[in-house]
Amino acid sequence: MASKASDETVDLPGFFSDLVRCETRLYNALNDRLRERHGIVTSQFEALRYLRDHPGSRVADLAAEFAAGVGAISKGTDRLERHGWVARRPNPSDRRSSLLALTDDGLRLVDAAEETFAERLAELTADALKGFPLGAAAQVLSELRSFLERDQIGTPTG
């Protein structure tokens, strides 16, 4: 199925395939580097970074951010807690949930891993995106994400 946007025709299934395969390959390459240098994978890095930048978050907040099921995020959080990178604290406004906080070790880890993440992502994208309007591509993806999130499209149930 092709989509007509102004004067150009876009192969939407091809666009989708390219988008997903790029994401998968970037994610896997970042996984490899983070595992090699810090003993974590990309999903753990992203969770730790989110918790650093959003103190007092709950498992449900992580699930909403990453469009993942609460059960899967809770299990991932359990692993982060077992490693000593995250601590659960009672939620004073809701006894049914906990607030998540990075430990000192978790904060040191995410700060060190963030440098590795940024360096590797720049390495992976620099040559391929040279001469392209990266800001425009980032804007398009940001708008698409906002649209999908606004309408809760692709939000897992349960």
Alpha helices (H) along the chain: 12-38, 42-53, 59-66, 70-82, 104-129, 134-150
d(CA 10, CA 7): 10
pLDDT in tens, 117-149: 999 999 998 888 888 888 888 898 899 989 998
pTM of the predicted protein model: 0.86
**Do residues 154 and 148 lie in contact, with contact meaning Cβ atoms separated by under 8 Å?**
yes
Mean pLDDT computed over 102-129: 95
The DSSP annotation for 86-101 comes to EEEEE-TT-TTSEEEE
pLDDT in tens, 84-95: 999 999 999 988
Q: Domains in the chain, start-ordered, CATH in brackets?
A: 28-143 (1.10.10.10)
Mean residue pLDDT across the chain: 91
Q: What angle do CA 122, 124, 125 make, to 5 degrees?
A: 65
